[in-house]
Structure 1
Amino acid sequence: MARQLLIEIGEDPDRSGLRDTPERFARWWREFSNYQAGQVETHFPLRTDGQIVMVSDVNVWSLCEHHLLPFSCTLTIAYKPGKHVLGLSKFARIAHRHAHRLQVQERLVRDIAEEISKVTGTNDVAVIGRGEHLCMSMRGIRTSALMTCSVFDGIFRDYGPPREELIKIAFPRG
């Protein structure tokens, strides 16, 4: 496939700089799409007295399923724990698990929210994603921009203190 792509764009896949490119290209795709997040269900017993746990600035890369070009996304994830808290690294593992596939940003944040809800046992989950898409900044309009999308479930669904706290952390005013 990569060899044919090189031919289609007018390159010589047999020239010295490109000879190994098809294999490197295939290896990268396998590495990216076969990402193994590891265990994501690690919990720690802890009484939180109604606290909200937020993890912000989780950076992931994904691939636009419409153009096969990368997009980067910075995530803020929040939830209200019950009788235990989720291990900190598990948020990034879950985010990467869903990012390492052909994706659209709207589905990415929804998939992350659903898995956080499943592993924590709470519906009080919110995920905000801010992404820059190379399919927009490198082709078409060729303008960089950030797309923001969000999922607000449980206590975050309605406007009120939990949602306001999350918004202040996700979008600090400089």
Structure 2
Amino acid sequence: MTHAVYRPAPGHSVTVPPPADPISSPPIDTERVAELIGQLLSALGEDPDRAGLAGTPNRVASWYAEFLSPDASAVATCFTESHLGEQMVVVGGMSVWSLCEHHMLPMHLEILAGYVPAGEVVGLSKFGRIAQRYAGRLQVQERFTRQVADEISGVIGGKDVAVAVRGTHLCMSMRGVRMEDARTTTLHTGGRFRSDPVLSQQFLTLATGQWRAA
């Protein structure tokens, strides 16, 4: 089994809607968020009306509204391809920012996703869109990894999916033990990636090699 990314000829596509998101995002009350940020600044001993901070509550509220409201309307395009040759398709180089739900501090997540196509391949940009959608919320890395893998499984209509994520968490880098070089790695496998040790090892080798080169 090879592990090169296969790019099919365009022209044979079918639109596949994403599976229902189990976590809906209610509208964000930006006025209330701005008010609370102003109160937080006051509680921290700052004057929210001073020069430099006057627009900060609104800017922070606007950022939260944008970051926590990712576009969920994107759909996947699948391309019919009869000459796949039992390839493992791996998409790497993806990275997103999310917010740790325990401390509301940023975490940077690097994602490597692989699957074994059966008659169709998925448009490559879809993988990044899936990652962005699940990153735009209060998260934990373990849940994020599973959610990305589950949605890819829904798109391809099968369980032959593997997702590896390496995270840098500011809740560990800038607070607590303050270990700047600490990294957390999570792995979710399904189908043949779980039952076939050779396929699993090929995927893990690619993930490890990519992160070492970064």
Which category of TM-score, normalised to the shorter sequence, fits these structures? Answer: over 0.9
Query: Gaps (5+ residues) in structure 2?
Result: 1-35
| Distance in 1 between residues matched to 2:73 and 2:109, nearest whole Å | 21
CA contact (8 A) 1:78 1:127 kept: yes
Q: Work out which of the residue numbers 63, 73, 80 in structure 1 matches 2:109.
A: 73
Identical residues among aligned pairs (%): 48
**1:165 positional shift:** 1.1
The aligned residue for residue 168 of structure 1 is 205
SS in 2 for 1:95: helix
Code of the residue aligned with 1:90 in structure 2: it is: K
Query: Gaps (5+ residues) in structure 1?
Result: none
Q: Work out which of the residue numbers 132, 138, 147 in structure 1 matches 2:184.
A: 147
Q: Work out which of the residue numbers 90, 93, 107 in structure 2 matches 1:54.
A: 90
| Distance in 1 between residues matched to 2:183 and 2:189, nearest whole Å | 19
Code of the residue aligned with 1:152 in structure 2: it is: T
**1:159 positional shift:** 5.2
Q: TM-score, normalised by structure 1?
A: 0.96
Deviations, residues 138-162 of structure 1 (Å, cap 9, x unaligned):
1111112100011011111135221
The aligned residue for residue 30 of structure 1 is 65
SS in 2 for 1:71: strand
Q: TM-score, normalised by structure 2?
A: 0.78
Give the paired residue count: 174
CA contact (8 A) 1:60 1:96 kept: yes
The aligned residue for residue 16 of structure 1 is 51
